[in-house]
Structure 1
Amino acid sequence: MIYNKIPFDVIVCGAGHAGCEAALAAARMGANTLLLTGNIDTIAQMSCNPAIGGQAKGQMVREIDALGGEMGINTDLTGIQFRLLNESKGLAVQSPRAQCDKKAYQFRLKHTLELQKNLQVFQATVTGLVYTGQKVTGVRTNLDIEFNAATVVVTTGTFLRGLMHIGQNKNEGGRLGDFSAKTLSASFLEAGIELQRLKTGTPPRLLGRSLDFSQMEEQKGDNSPALFAFHDTRDPENLFHVEQTGEQRLGWRPGSAQVSCWMTYTTAATAQLVRDNLHKSAMYSGEIEGVGPRYCPSIEDKFVRFADKPRHLLFLEPEGRTTNEYYVNGLSTSLPFEVQLEMVHSVPGLQNAVLLRPAYAVEYDFAPPTQLFPSLESRKVENLFFAGQINGTSGYEEAAAQGLIAGVNAVRKVRTQSPLVMQRHEGYIGVLIDDLVTKGTREPYRMFTSRAEHRLLFNHGSAELRLLHHAREHGLVSPTRLIRMEEKKRQVDYWVQAFEKLRAPVGQGSWGDAVRRSTTGNAPVPDYPVEFGSLSAEIRGEALYRVSYQGYFAREQRQIEKLSAVEKIKIPADMDFLSIRGLRKESALKLQEFKPYNLGQAGRISGVNPADISILMVYIEAVRAGRMSG
C-alpha cells in the first residue's frame, strides 16, 4: 500500500540525533518531510552517556545552533551540569560540555518534532529502499506500507544488522532493549553500496543509592555555565517553553539547580580481573569482527594498550534529575556479566554497587563514506543521502552535524539548487565531512581539535559569525534572528578595527596593543571605552578574542586565501582521470574511485601528491580553454 499519493520531498529513516536534525532542517526550509522511526518512544534516545559537547564537539554543537539546528537549545533547556573544558588554556580551545537529563532531552526533542510545521512523524521500520534505475524513489516498511519521496536521508545509527555482545552472549539489536534492522543492508548492497562492520560499546549503569560517594572526588558544575545555543540572537519564543499552539515543552532555566558528578579510579584488582578474563571478552575472543573506537576504548583495551598505567579514571555521572541511575564513564566493556560485577565491585566507592544494566558491545554495518559526495549524497544512488553512524562516525554531535547538512542538501536537491558544502576553514563541521568523504575511516571517527588545521578560528563564540553567510543563503534561521546575527557581526567587525585605531591612555599605544599586552600577561588592561562596555558580553568577548590573536588571525587568513585558489577549481563530474597523460597510475586510480569535487579535495586524497595536482590543474585549464575556443 502506498501511504501518500503525493510524494514527500524528503523522507528521513531513523530518529536518532542525525535523523532529528535532518528532519527539522528540511521541514524548517519548507519541504514536506516524513520522519520514520522503529519506535517513537525512543526518538533522540541518548543510548550512551547523556552528555553533549566536549573538546571540538562543543564547538560543533554551537555550529549546529548557528545553522538553525536544535541540539544546542535542547541541551541548554535539559542540562543538569555545565562545564567549560580547557578554561585555563585560552579561548581557542575552550569547549562547553553538559550532562543532560536523558529523558527530558529525549521528550523535549520528540515534542519539538511533533510541533514542527511541514513534518510528519510515523512509527515504522524501514525494511528496504525503492529504486527507479539508479535513483531512490521511496521506502518499504515492516507494515507493508510504502512511502514515496523525491529524496531519502538514511540515519540508521547502529541498527543495521546490529548485534550486541556480553561475553559469549549475543542478542540482535542496535541497543539494549531495541530491535535490529536486518533487511535494509541487503537493499543497499543491491544498489552497489559497499558495507563494512564497526563496533562500539557502553558501560554498565548503576543504582545511585548503592554507591559510596564519600570515597570519590566531587566534580561540580560551573557557577557561570557556558551554554550551547546563541541566546543573544534567538527569538524570544524559542527561549521559553510555551509555544504559539499553547503547548508547553519540557525544560528549565539553563544552568539552574546543577548536579554533581563524581570521580574514582580502577585498582590493581580491576586490572587483574580484566587480564584474567580477556579470553572471555567478545572483542578479544574473536566474536566481534568490527573495529572499535580508538579514542573511546573499552576497559580491556585500556589495560592491554596502556599496560604500564596502574589505574584509570572513572566518572560517575547521573542520568537525570528524576532517576537514581548512574553512568560509569570510562568502564565500557564486553566482558561477561559475572566478570563485570566483580570488576565494578573492585573500584573504590562501588564495592556494594547494584547494576541496573550491564555493559555491552554492539557491532553494526556502516557504509564507507568515501562513497558520498561532500553534500552527503550517495555517489552510487541519486537522491539518497547518508548521515550519522552509518557513515562511520561516533558521537551524538558528529551525527547531528551530518544530519543537519544532509537534511538541508536533500531539500536543495529537490529544488535543483547547489548544495551546502562547508569548507575546512569555516568550522569543525566542514572538517568532519571533508575528512569522511575524502579520507574515509576504518574505525569510528571522532572529532578532535587536532584534526582542524584552522582551529584557531573555531572558538565556540564565533560560530554564528563564521557561518552567517550559510544561514542567510540557505534560509536556516528566522528573518528576525538573521537581523540580530548581522548586527552582531557588524558590531564585532567595527570594534576589532576600532581597537587598532583608538588610542589607549598615555603610554599604552592603541587599545589593541593594550589588550595584547594583557593577553600575554605583561600588563593590565585599563578600562575600555564606555561605548564598548555597554555592548553584550557575547560581542565584547568575540571582539577581544580577535584583537588578542590579531597576528595569528592574519596569518591564518593568508593561508586560507592561498589555499582557496585550488578549492575554487571545480573538477567536471564526468572527468576520466585514467586518460590524463602524465598522471601516475596510482593517483589516476584513486581519483577515478573518489571523483573529487574540486582540486583542493583531490589534494587531500591519500596517495595523490602535489605533482599530480599540478598536472590535473594544467589539464583542467586546457579542457576549459578548448571548450571556450570551440
Structure 2
Amino acid sequence: MLYNDIPFDVIVCGGGHAGCEAALASARMGASTLLLSGNIDTVAAMSCNPAIGGQAKGQMVREIDALGGEMAINTDVTAIQFRLLNESKGLAVQSPRAQSDKKAYQYRMKHTLELQPNLHLFQATVTGLTHSGGKVTGVRTNLDLEFGGTTVVVTTGTFLRGLMHIGQNKNEGGRMGDFTAKTLSTSFEEVGIELQRLKTGTPPRLLGRSLDFSKMKEQQGDAKPTCFAFHETRQDHDLFHVEQTGESRLGWEPGTNQISCWMTYTTEETAQLVRDNLTKSAMYSGEISGTGPRYCPSIEDKFVRFADKPRHLLFIEPEGRTTNEFYVNGLSTSLPFDVQMKMVRTVPGLEHAELLRPAYAVEYDFAPPTQLFPSLESKKLENLFFAGQINGTSGYEEAASQGLIAGVNAVHKARGEQPLVLARHEGYIGVLIDDLVTKGTREPYRMFTSRAEHRLLFNHGSAEQRLIHHAKVHGLVGPERLARMAAKSESITHWINTFETTRPGGGQGTFADWIRRASQGDGAWPELPETFQQLPTESRDQVLYRVSYRGYLEREERQVAKLAQTEKIRIPSGLNYAEIKGLRRESALKLTETQPVNLGQASRISGVNPSDISILMVFIETLRRQTPRAT
C-alpha cells in the first residue's frame, strides 16, 4: 500500500544524529520531508558516551551550527559539564567538549523534530528501496506501507544486520534493547552497492551509589563554558521555545549547575584478568569479523597492543542530572559478563560497583564510501544519499556533519540544483567527506586535527566566517541570523585592519606588532581600545587570533590558492581511464572505482601518483581542445 500520492521531496531513513540533521536541514529549506525511524522513542539516542566535541570534533559541531544545524544548540542547553580542551595551548588548537544529559539531549531533539514545519515523523522500519530506471523512488517498510520520495537519505547507523556480542553470547540489534535491520542490506546489494562489515563497542554502565568517589580524582567543568552554538548571532527564542507556537522545549542556561566527572585507573590485576580471558572475548575468539576503531580501542586491545603500559586511564562520567547511571569511558569490551564484573571491581573506586548494563561489541554492515559522489549521492542509484556510520565513520559529530550535507544535497537534487560541496580548506566537514569519498576507509573513521592539512584555518571560533557564503547561497540560516553573521564578520575585519595600521600612543610599531610579540612571550600586551574591549568575547578572540597568527595564516592561504588550480580542472564524467595511454593500470583501476570529479580529488586517491596526474592533465586538455565550443 502506498502511503502518499504525492512523493515527499526527501525521505530520511533512520533517526540517529545523521538522520536528525538531514531531516531538519531538508525541512528548513522548505522541502517536504519524511523521517522514518524504527523507534521514535530513541530518536537522537546517545548510544555510547553522552558527550559531544573534543579534538577536531568540537570544531565540526561549530561548523554544523554555522550551517544551520541543530547539534550545537541542542548540546549547549542540555550539557551538564563543559570543558575547553588545550586551553593553555592557544586559540589555534583549542577544542570545546561537553558532557550531555543523555535523555535531555534526546528528548529536546525529538521535540525539535516534532515542531519543525515541513517535517513528518513516522515510526516504521525501512525494509527495502523502491526504484525505477536507475533512480530511487521511495522505500518499503515492515508495516506493508510504501512511501514515495524524490530522494532518499539512508542513515541507518549500526542497525544494518547488526549483531551484538558479550563473550560467546550473541543478540541481533543495532544497540542494546533495540532492533536490527536485515532486509535493507539485501536491497542495497540488489542495485550493486557493495557492503562490508565493521564493529564498534561500548563499556559497562554502573550504578553511581555503588561507587567510591573518594578514591578517584575529580574533574570539574569550566567556570566559564565555551559553547558550541554561536549565541551572539542567534536570537533568544532559539534556546528554549519556538516563536511561532510558544511551546517550551527542554533545556537550561548553558553552564549552570555543572556536574563533575571522575578519573581513575586500571590496575595490574585488571590487566592480568583481561589477558587470562582473551580467548573468551568475542573479538579475540574470532566471533567478530568486522574491523574495529583503531583510535577507540577495547580494553583487550589496550592490554595487548600497549603491553608495556602498567595502567590505563578511565573516566567515570555521569549520564545525566536525573539518573544515577555512570559511563566508564575507556573500558569498552566484549568479554563475558562474569569477567566484566570481576574486571570492573579491580579498579580503584569501583570495588563494589553494580553493573546496570553490560559492555558489548556490535558488528554491522557499512557501504564503502568511495561508492559516493562528494555530494554523498550514490554512484550506483541516482537520488539515493548515504550519511553517518553506514559510510564507515565513528562518532556523533561525524554522523551529524554528513547528515546535514546529505539533507541539503537531497533537496538540491530534488529541485535540480547544484549540490553543496565543502572544500578541504573550508573546514573539517570538507576534509571528512573528501577523505571518505576519495580514499574510503577500512576501519571506523574518526576525525583528527592531523587529517586536515589546513587546520590552522579551522580554529573553532571562525566557523561562521569560513562558511557564511555557503549558509547564504544554500539558504541554511534565516535572514536575521545571516545579517548578524555578516555584521560580525565585518566587525572582525575592521578591527584586524585597525590593529595592523594603528600605533599605540607614542609607541613603536602597530597594535598588531605588539600583539604578535606579546602572544610569543616577547613583550607586554598593549592597552587595547575600550571600544574593542566591548565587543562580544568570540569576536575579540577572532581578531586576536587572526592578528597573532597572521604570518602562518597567510602562508596557509597561499598554499590553498596554489592547490585550488587543480580543483578547478574538471574531469569529464564517464571517462574511460583504461584507454588513456601512459596511465598505470593500478591508477586506471583506482580512478575508475572512485570516479573523481576534478584533478584535485584525483591527486588524493591512494595509489595515484604525480606522474599519473600529469598524464591525466594532458589528456583532459587535449579533450578540451578537440571539443567544439557551443556557438
Q: TM-score range by the shorter chain?
A: over 0.9
What is the aligned partner in structure 1 of residue 119 from structure 2?
119
Q: Report the Cα distance in structure 2 between the residues aligned to 1:362 and 1:243, rounded to whole angstroms.
A: 41
Instruction: Provide Cα deviations, 1:538-591, integer angstroms capped at 9, x if missing partner.
Output: 211101100000000110010000000001111111211111122222211211
Counterpart in 2 of 1:583?
583
- Greater displacement, 250-259 / 618-627: 618-627
Which one-letter code corresponds to 1:62 in the other structure? R
Deviation at 1:235, TM superposition (A): 2.3
3-state SS of 2:96 partner = strand
Amino acid at match of 1:26: S
Cα deviation, residue 92, structure 1: 1.1
**1:64 pairs with 2:64:** yes
Q: How many Å separate the matches in 1 of 2:182 and 2:584?
A: 42
Q: How does 1:403-418 map to 2 (within 5 A)?
A: 403-418=403-418
CA distance in 2, matches of 1:508, 1:457: 29
Q: Deviations over 1:387-419 (max 9, x none)?
A: 000000000000000000000000010111111
For residue 491 of structure 1, what is the aligned residue in structure 2?
Answer: 491
Q: Confirm whether residue 289 of structure 1 aligns to residue 283 of structure 2.
A: no
Amino acid aligned to 2:535: L
| Local SS of the residue matching 1:91 | coil
Output the amino acid matched with 2:508.
Answer: Q
Give how far 1:494 is off. Answer: 1.5
Verify the 8 A CA contact 1:387 1:402 in the aligned structure 2. yes
Return the letter of the residue paired with 2:526. P
Q: Which residue of 2 aligns with 1:340?
A: 340
2:12 aligned with 1:12: yes
User: What corresponds to 2:234 in structure 1?
Assistant: 234
> Which residue identity lines up with residue 219 of structure 2 in the other structure?
Q
Instruction: Show the 5 A alignment for 1:59-458.
Output: 59-241=59-241, 243-458=243-458
**Once the 2 structures are TM-superposed, how far is the Cα of residue 373 of structure 1 from its aligned partner?**
0.3
Deviations 1:318-352 (A, max 9, x none): 00000000000000000000000000000000000
Contact (CA 8 Å) 2:297, 2:332: kept in 1 or not? yes
Q: Structure 2-normalised TM-score?
A: 0.99
Aligned amino acid, residue 399 of structure 1 = A
Alpha carbons of structure 1 residues 629 and 125: separation in structure 2 relative to 1, 3 Å = closer
Q: Name the aligned partner's letter for residue 107 of structure 1.
A: Y
Q: Could you tell me how far apart the structure 2 residues matched to 1:325 and 1:261 are?
A: 12
Q: 2:347 aligns to what SS in structure 1?
A: coil
**Partner residue, 2:469:** 469
Q: Deviations over 1:476-502 (max 9, x none)?
A: 000000000011111111211221111
Letter matched to residue 56 of structure 1: A
- Structure 2, unmatched stretches of 5+, are none
The one-letter code sitting in structure 2 at the alignment partner of 1:262 is: W
Pairwise CA distance, 1:629: 5.6
Structure 1 CA distance for aligned equivalents of residues 611 and 589 of structure 2: 15
Q: Quick one: which amino acid aligns to residue 365 of structure 2?
A: D
Shift of 1:243: 3.8
Which is worse superposed, 188-197 or 86-95? 86-95
User: How many Å separate the matches in 1 of 2:414 and 2:337?
Assistant: 50
How far is 1:613 from its partner?
1.0
The amino acid that maps onto 1:80 is: I
The 1-side partners of 2:498 and 2:242 are apart by 41
How far the C-alpha of 1:526 sits from its partner, in A, is 1.7
State the AA in 2 paired with 1:68.
Answer: G
Q: What secondary structure does 2:231 align onto? A: coil
Q: For the residues of structure 1 that align with 2:92 and 2:494, how far apart are their CA atoms? A: 21
Letter in 2 for 1:432: L
Provide Cα deviations, 1:437-486, integer angstroms capped at 9, x if missing partner.
00000000000000000000100000000000000000000000000001
Kindly indicate whether the alpha-carbon contact (under 8 Å) linking 2:220 and 2:261 is maintained by their aligned counterparts in 1. Answer: yes
Q: CA deviation at 1:611?
A: 1.3
Structural mapping, 1:505-516, within 5 Å: 505-516=505-516
Aligned length: 630
- The Cα shift of 1:530 comes to 2.8
Task: Please give the alpha-carbon distance, in whole angstroms, between the structure 2 residues aligned to 1:452 and 1:324.
Answer: 39
Task: Provide the TM-score with structure 1 as the length reference.
Answer: 0.99
CA deviation map 1:128-179 (0-9, x unaligned): 0001021110000000000000000000000000000000000000000000
CA distance in 1, matches of 2:586, 2:470: 36
**What amino acid does structure 1 have at the position aligned with 2:332?**
S
Report the Cα distance in structure 2 between the residues aligned to 1:214 and 1:239, rounded to whole angstroms. Answer: 37
Higher deviation after alignment, 470-479 or 241-250: 241-250
Q: Which residue matches 1:502?
A: 502
Contact 1:566 1:600 in 2 (8 A): yes
Distance 1:206 1:501 in 2: 59
With 587-596 and 237-246 compared, the bigger mean Cα shift is at 237-246
Deviates further, 618-627 or 119-128? 618-627
Give distance in 2, aligned partners of 1:109 and 1:471. Answer: 22
1:244 CA displacement: 2.4
* Alignment partners' CA distance in 1, 2:341 and 2:533: 57
- Partner Cα distance (1:275, 1:610) in 2: 46
The equivalent of 1:544 in structure 2 is 544
Partner of 1:23: 23
Partner amino acid, structure 2, of 1:318: P
Q: Kindly indicate whether the alpha-carbon contact (under 8 Å) linking 2:211 and 2:352 is maintained by their aligned counterparts in 1.
A: yes
Give the AA of the match of 1:464: E
Contact 2:240/2:250, CA 8 A, preserved across alignment: no
2:512 counterpart of 1:518:
no
Matched residues in 1 for 2:145 and 2:60: separation?
37
- Please name the residue that 2:481 is paired with: 481
Kindly provide the amino acid, as one letter, of the partner of residue 43 in structure 2. I
Structure 1 position 376, deviation (Å): 0.2
**Distance of 1:246 and 1:522 partners within structure 2:** 54
Deviations 1:212-267 (A, max 9, x none): 00000000000001000000001232133354212111000001000000000000
Q: Distance in 1 between matches of 2:294 and 2:22?
A: 28
Among all aligned residue pairs of Structure 1 and Structure 2, give the percentage whose two residues are the same amino acid: 76
User: Residue type matched to 1:541 in 2?
Assistant: D
Higher alpha-carbon deviation: 183-192 or 494-503? 494-503
Q: CA RMSD in A?
A: 0.9
Task: Check whether the contact 2:80–2:101 (CA below 8 A) recurs between aligned residues.
Answer: yes
For 2:612, the equivalent position in structure 1 comes to 612
**Distance (Å, rounded) in 2 between the aligned partners of 1:242 and 1:116:** 9
**Kept after mapping to 2: 8 A contact 1:216/1:263:** yes
Provide the C-alpha distance between the structure 1 equivalents of 2:456 and 2:127, rounded to a whole number of angstroms. 44
CA distance in 1, matches of 2:321, 2:240: 20
Q: What do the CA deviations read for 1:346-390 (whole angstroms, capped 9, x no partner)?
A: 000000000000000000000000000000000000000000000
Q: In structure 2, what is the Cα distance between the partners aligned to 1:613 and 1:236? A: 51
CA shift for structure 1 position 619? 1.4
Aligned-partner Cα distance in 1 for 2:242–2:507: 54
- Is the Cα–Cα contact under 8 Å of residues 161 and 180 in structure 2 kept in the other structure? yes
SS of residue matched to 1:593: helix
CA drift of 1:536 comes to 1.7
Letter in 1 for 2:604: R
The AA in structure 1 aligned to 2:116 is: Q
The question of whether the paired residues in 2 share the 8 Å contact of 1:371 and 1:380 is answered with yes
Matched letter for residue 455 of structure 2:
R
Q: 2:531, 2:243 → 1: CA distance?
A: 36
Q: Which amino acid aligns with 2:148?
A: N
Is the deviation greater in 543-552 or in 586-595?
Answer: 586-595
The one-character-per-residue Cα deviations of 1:31-68 (angstroms, maximum 9, x if unpaired) are: 00000000010000000000000000000000000000
Asked whether the equivalents of residues 577 and 588 of structure 1 are also in contact (C-alpha less than 8 Å), the reply is: yes
Q: Secondary structure at the match of 2:147?
A: strand
* SS of residue in 2 equivalent to 1:504: coil
Deviates more, 1:236-245 or 1:573-582: 236-245
